[in-house]
Amino acid sequence: MPGKNFVRFRRLSLKNHPEFNERWVQERIAEDPSMLGLGDIVLKDKERIQPGAGRLDLLFQDPDSDRRYEVEIQLGKTDESHIIRTIEYWDIERKRYPQYDHTAVLVAEDITSRFLNVISLFNGFIPLIAIQMSALEWEDNVSLMFTTVLDQMTLGPADDDGEPEVTDRAYWERRGTRATIKMADDLLGLIKGLDEGFDFKYNKFYIGLAKDGQSNNFVTFQPQKNALRIAVRLPRSEELERELEDRGLDLGEYKWGRYRIRLTPEDVEKHRDVLRNLFERAYQEAIGR
């Protein structure tokens, strides 16, 4: 191509490099998280202390969803301790902050086929992404390139697993508050306006709906400390998304066939008609009309 020169980059090994060490890599990723290829994520913390387990290299969050990424960096080849540490930090963070969806991210210069096979055994049960990092040098310039070699496998939503762990109202009053439970009660009233037979079914990760003892989770609820998150099962529609956003609703990531919405007490009152219409559409879909 005219005006373009072919440049051959030299690959650097960072494992024993006198200048470009793990801290240097950590700083470069922190400055520009987009290079990891995980989307428009923002830095939440560096060298995050893990009680009794060292420090997490980097913690990122997706501002448009509830997703957090626990990132561990390894120069050279992956080894057993690095995999264990990555999973351990992910596990600590998800237990400390269960209101978020957590993904473990392992970054290394050389992810061998042996360890790729080991990691793949966890994938789908432990949400884990493996990224291979290459350092490239040309004259006085050094760059980093990241290639995802194992992506996160998406599991089905919790309400489809057939055997959710049953809890009770008191569990959700502790996990959320009585105020956010009251918000869920108000919205249940809208659903009862569609079919009086529905009531709450309290599970460990969400509050679902049941009628005559049978689950029908066209809407699920997750009371939190300061808000209520709902997930409404509907086919994705650009028109519907624009309508919800234009109304000022806090619309999260669409996944597992559901619209995820964060509601405050003011939202429940202000958007009651919109929510009633949304629930009615989901209800009609659920009963096949």
Could you tell me the pLDDT band of residue 184, with boundaries at 50, 70 and 90?
Answer: very high
- What proportion of the chain, given as a percentage, has pLDDT over 70? 92
Cβ-contact 257, 219 below 8 angstroms: no
Q: Give the bridge partners for 133, in sequence order.
A: 146
Distance (Å, rounded) from C-alpha 215 to C-alpha 227?
24
Question: What integer pLDDT is reported at residue 74 of this predicted model?
Answer: 87
Distance (Å, rounded) from C-alpha 197 to C-alpha 78?
55
Least Cα distance to 180 among 228, 139, 135 occurs for 228
- What proportion of the chain, given as a percentage, has pLDDT over 90? 34
Across the range 231-238, mean pLDDT stands at: 89
How many CA atoms, within 13 angstroms, populate the side-chain half-sphere of residue 232? Answer: 29
How many CA atoms, within 13 angstroms, populate the side-chain half-sphere of residue 54? Answer: 13
Residue 112: pLDDT over 90: no
Cβ-contact 50, 65 below 8 angstroms: no
DSSP type of residue 158: G
Quote the tokens at residue 271.
Answer: 């958007």
Residue 158: pLDDT over 60: no
Q: Of 149-153, 204-208, 244-248, 278-282, which has the strongest mean pLDDT?
A: 278-282
Q: What is the pTM of this model?
A: 0.53
Cβ-contact 187, 269 below 8 angstroms: no
Helix (H) and strand (E) counts in the chain: 8, 14
Quote the tokens at residue 287.
Answer: 């009963």
Distance (Å, rounded) from C-alpha 154 to C-alpha 67?
13
Least Cα distance to 62 among 53, 72, 70 occurs for 70
Question: What integer pLDDT is reported at residue 152 of this predicted model?
Answer: 66
Across the range 248-273, mean pLDDT stands at: 88
Please tell me the least confidently modeled range out of 1-5, 15-19, 184-188.
Answer: 1-5
Backbone dihedral angles phi then psi of residue 115, each to the nearest 5 degrees: -75, -25
Q: Of 113-127, 154-168, 251-265, which has the strongest mean pLDDT?
A: 251-265
For the chain, give the mean pLDDT.
Answer: 85
Q: Which domains does the chain carry?
A: 10-150 (3.40.1350.10), 158-286 (3.90.1150.20)
Q: Which pLDDT tens digit goes with each residue over 74-103? A: 888 887 788 888 899 999 998 888 888 899
Question: What integer pLDDT is reported at residue 60 of this predicted model?
Answer: 93
Question: What integer pLDDT is reported at residue 79 of this predicted model?
Answer: 78
Across the range 210-236, mean pLDDT stands at: 90
Residue 161: pLDDT over 50: no
